[in-house]
A and B are shown apart, each in its own frame.
Chain A
Amino acid sequence: DAKTTQPNSMESNEEEPVHLPCNHSTISGTDYIHWYRQLPSQGPEYVIHGLTSNVNNRMASLAIAEDRKSSTLILHRATLRDAAVYYCILRDGGSQGNLIFGKGTKLSVKP
């Protein structure tokens, strides 16, 4: 399964937008891009996913590059509750297989 690369950590100020990048240069045509976040002492929770087009939901936006080799999770106004580890993973929509998580990006939000 294709792997993803994310920065280890990022910082943001409260109420400012945050752009979390993810590289997935070996993505295949049937791979969906999923984002999850993990708050301290909790299990990961789903944030958003997409295949080719940009996606919006109540939590965030997902911007997918035209060649699909990278994507960006956008939090429009960071709050202190958004401080978490964010994981970008690839899910093959054509077959069942391993769902591999990397180390993710630890986002710190400063008041």
Chain B
Amino acid sequence: NAGVTQTPKFQVLKTGQSMTLQCAQDMNHNSMYWYRQDPGMGLRLIYYSASEGTTDKGEVPNGYNVSRLNKREFSLRLESAAPSQTSVYFCASTQFAAGGRSSPLHFGNGTRLTVT
């Protein structure tokens, strides 16, 4: 059982380049999240998807777009990378059921992105 898989693990971009970070989960979870973590800092929510076909902004959405391709996959796109987007990006998933017991978040191991 792989859990949450993120690709690539590492990436170096030049300013202005674009790229897509991929995330897939095999736990049949309905909700997925993208976070970024800057050195020595906590996690900040970029975007989330409560269910297939829906996405919502988090704390720091500027400069990013997301796609919930299907129930398994949630991608994060940087259209024109900037040095301020140098960070570690984490994808997470969970099963949400209104009125039900809260279930844990499962995280991937991250994508380390450097923008020069």
- Where the two chains meet, the residues of A that have a C-beta atom closer than 8 Å to any C-beta of B are 32, 34, 36, 42-46, 49, 51, 85, 87, 91, 93-96, 98-104
Q: How far is the CB of B8 from chain A (nearest CB, A)?
A: 15
Q: Give Cα A45 to B90, complex, Å.
A: 12
**How many inter-chain residue pairs (CB < 8 Å) link A and B?**
63
CB-based contact B107/A94 at 8 Å: no
Contact B42 A95 (CB under 8 A): no
Could you tell me if A49 and B100 are in contact, using CB atoms closer than 8 angstroms?
A: no
A49-B102, A51-B102, A101-B44 given; name 11 further pairs at CB < 8 Å: A32-B102, A34-B104, A43-B110, A44-B107, A46-B104, A46-B105, A85-B42, A87-B43, A93-B101, A93-B102, A100-B59
Tell whether, in the assembled complex, residue B107 and residue A101 are in contact, meaning their CB atoms are under 8 Å apart: no
Q: A93-B99, A96-B31, A100-B59 given as contacts; is B107 within 8 A of A45 (CB)?
A: yes
B interface residues (Cβ-Cβ under 8 A, vs A):
4, 31, 33, 35, 41-45, 48, 50-51, 58-59, 90, 92, 96, 98-102, 104-110
Which B residue's beta carbon lies closest to that of A87? Answer: B42
| A36-B90 Cα distance, complex, nearest whole Å | 14
Among B42, B59, B101, the one with the most A-chain Cβ atoms within 10 Å of its Cβ is: B42
> Which residues of A are found within 8 Å of B58, using beta-carbon distances?
98
Closest to A46 in B: B104
| Contacting pair B104 A49 (CB below 8 A) | yes
User: Which residues of the partner chain B approach A32 to less than 8 Å between Cβ atoms?
Assistant: 102
